[in-house]
A = this chain, B = another copy of it.
Amino acid sequence: MYSSELIKGTLKTIILKLLSDNDKMYGYEITHKVKELTGGKIQLTEGALYPTLHALEAQGILSTDVVNVGNRIRKYYSVTPNGKKVATEKVNEFSEFLDTMIFLLDLQPKLG
Contact = CB atoms under 8 A, between A and B. Distances in A.
Interface in A7-49: 7-10, 12-14, 17, 34, 37-38, 41-42
Contacts of A6: 9-10, 93-94, 97
A55 interface: no
Interface stretch (A56-64, A74-82, A103-111): A103-111
Contact of A38 (B91, B104, B106): B104
A102 to B, nearest CB: 6
A98 to B, nearest CB: 6
A30 B3 CA distance: 24
Given A3-B93, A5-B12, A9-B5, A102 B107 contact: no
Contacts of A41: 96, 100
A17 B7 CA distance: 19
B107 A98 contact: yes
Contacts of A7: 9, 97
Interface of A: 2-3, 5-10, 12-14, 17, 34, 37-38, 41-42, 91, 93-112
